[in-house]
Amino acid sequence: MIYENEIFVIEYKGLIMKKYILVDSNWRLKRYLLNFDDREKIVIDSRTESKRDRLNDLLFSYQLFDKPLVIAKFVDEWGNDEVKWLVTACKETHSDVIVISRNSEILKKFGDFLDLSSPKPWDLKGWMDLITEISKAFLINLKYELKMEIFERVGPNVDLLAQELEKLSVVSKKPSTDDVKEIIATYTEPNLFEFSRIFMERNVHSVELLKKIVDATHPLVVIRTLEKQFMILAQMITQGKTSYSWDDVRKASKNFGVPIPQIANLVGFPLGEKRGRNFLKLWSFESVIKLLESIQKVEIDVKRGEDPKFSLISMVEKWTSSTA
């Protein structure tokens, strides 16, 4: 195994390849699998029907001229009998196979494994090295103090770090402190930003997320967050513009005095892999005003001493189940 350009490079020189990988993030898994971009790959995961029959064909059918690379993905989500069968099959097969799991105890049943799991939460050097690795992948040059700022904002989560650093790379390859503060979201657990996003989609799952949030966050904080978000949305709707370019997003961010990711989220501008919903097309000005009135009513109820959790959750349930 050679470590080169931040990717694990495997040389197997035509021999049967059996690799067992411990990894708990999609980003590191994708980076690892770049080593095999020249191979046809067939992924078998927990959702694959008749996994054992499918694997039996792939691992023991030697009539295939070009045998694909078989990837058994996240076997920690499989049934015990399926894993037990796979352990035996991997020992007997003459096909190339990669077994992936988040659970080291499962991988020990297969043999020696490569550990690509996240650093421990308290391993600051490990996380700094990982942020450096991700930054290089997106061609970003970061000073140590900016790495610390990003880590403090995002926390010990590889996929979130990769997501936020990809957003940052859209803005600058040599970001400043101001760039980081504007672009990188501050994540808390549970996350208010995520709640407001899915609530604005009228997604019923926002109710369950809210129930977790109000256990750790005062309802008035949630109310103010929603109020600010929808007031900005109302102001943007009055501009009569529904499609935003990158320059439009930056201009709106400056005009409204809010971070770029917040504006990008409202207009569905893709800062990262996925394009979000454009809330300017989902909400009318009238419906936003009605919602703001509902939010203000909940705030009054809370200040009068009524049950803040009940009032807030009831309001969110109403708006995620209505078409007002």
CATH number for position 271: 1.20.272.10
Distance between CA 290 and CA 184 in Å, rounded? 31
* Domain termination site, one of 115, 139, 162: 115
Show the domain range for 179.
124-183
Q: For residue 134, give both structure tokens.
A: 């991700």
- Domain shared by 54 and 111, yes or no: yes
Give yes or no: residues 98 and 147 share one domain. Answer: no
- pTM of the model as a whole: 0.58
Across residues 132-141, what is the average pLDDT? 96
The DSSP output letter for 186 is P
Please indicate, yes or no, whether residues 158 and 82 belong to a single structural domain of this protein.
Answer: no
Which CATH number goes with the domain that contains 131?
1.10.8
Task: Give the pLDDT score at 14.
Answer: 47
User: In degrees rounded to 5, what are phi and psi of residue 114?
Assistant: -90, 125
Q: Are residues 13 and 100 in the same domain?
A: yes
Checking if the pLDDT of 118 tops 70, the result is yes
Picking from 82, 115, 148, the residue at the C-terminal end of a domain is 115
In the predicted model, is pLDDT for residue 324 greater than 90? no
Question: pLDDT tens digits for 32-91?
Answer: 999 998 888 999 999 998 999 999 988 887 655 567 899 999 999 999 999 999 999 999
Pair (225, 107) in one structural domain: no
For 153-162, how does the pLDDT look when each residue is reduced to its tens digit (9 = 90+)? 888 889 999 9
Would the pLDDT of 2 be above 50? no
Q: Looking at the structure, do residues 230 and 283 belong to the same domain, yes or no?
A: yes
Say what angle helices 219-237 and 192-200 make with each other, to 10 degrees. 50
Domain count, the chain: 3
Q: Is 2 helix (H, G, I), strand (E, B) or coil?
A: strand
What percent of the chain is modeled with pLDDT above 70? Answer: 90
